[in-house]
Amino acid sequence: MAKPQKLEFHVGHYGDGTGARSIVDEVQYARKFIKRIYEICIANCVPATYYEDKISKNQTQNINNLIAHHNADNNGFIVSGHLNASGSVTNQGIGAEVLYYDQVTVAHKVVDAICNGSGLKNRGAKKRTDLGVLARTYEPAILIEFGFVTSKKDIELMDKHFEAICQGVAKVLAAHIGYTIKIVEQNKKEETKMANSLTSTAKEDLKTLLKTTYQKGILKVDHSEKVGSMTDGEALGLLISVVKRTL
């Protein structure tokens, strides 16, 4: 196959709550990372596409839909965004890894970029021949597991070093198809606004709600002390989880 002409990003699974869920929601976090990496590429004139499956109703449909989406052409390099999960919540770091079918070199470079930029444990690049988006697509592909939804340390490092991770991955992927990434700053004012848009009353109400749902066993982790630093999206995601688990 000729050298890929573009990067084809997609978020794993088919909507919030359809992937792994624990301290955080896999799909929400994967979306945050993949969308930011895509934005950095576009800002640097790197040919790239972004896709989310919003039509599938189950995992089989999702895999088939993703494969069909990417097999509509054969000139791209596929990047699938995910988070991993272990059996139970832990304070210990578990780490990041990148899965591949035959793209071992770039897989190693991507996981090194993630871990060097964040301090996440490096679980390496792992060959997988049983995953549809790696084995049944015409185009070369990698699947990124940014960290574990069940590891408090992983989530802390992903949050703290979010931008460094995204910049590092974007740089490696762009170079893989022959482009160069310059550092693209996020809009800090926008970030601050997102993290503080709740009123003080709303924050107290949310804090009480999260504390109560944790005490009743509805949520496995007490998120109440994190309300002040949550983004709107993170707060909404937790509220959706509470509603779904109490209906």
- Is residue 172 within 8 A of residue 110, CB to CB? The reply is yes
Q: How far apart are CA 242 and CA 21, in angstroms?
A: 12
What is the distance between the alpha carbons of residues 104 and 98, in angstroms, rounded to a whole number?
9
Residue 196 reports pLDDT greater than 90: no
Q: What residues have CB less than 8 Å from 170, skipping those under 6 apart? A: 37, 40, 41, 44, 46, 181
pLDDT at site 192:
40
User: What's domain 6-176's architecture?
Assistant: 3-Layer(aba) Sandwich (3.40)
Q: Check whether 246 has a pLDDT greater than 90.
A: no
pTM summary value: 0.77
Q: Is 111 helix (H, G, I), strand (E, B) or coil?
A: helix
Q: Is the pLDDT of residue 220 over 90?
A: no
Check residue 190 and give its pLDDT.
43
How far, in Å, CA of 82 to CA of 37, rounded? 13
Domain ranges of the chain: 6-176, 195-246
Per residue in 100-134, pLDDT (tens digit) is 999 999 999 999 999 999 999 999 999 999 999 99
CA angle 96, 19, 165 (to 5 degrees): 30
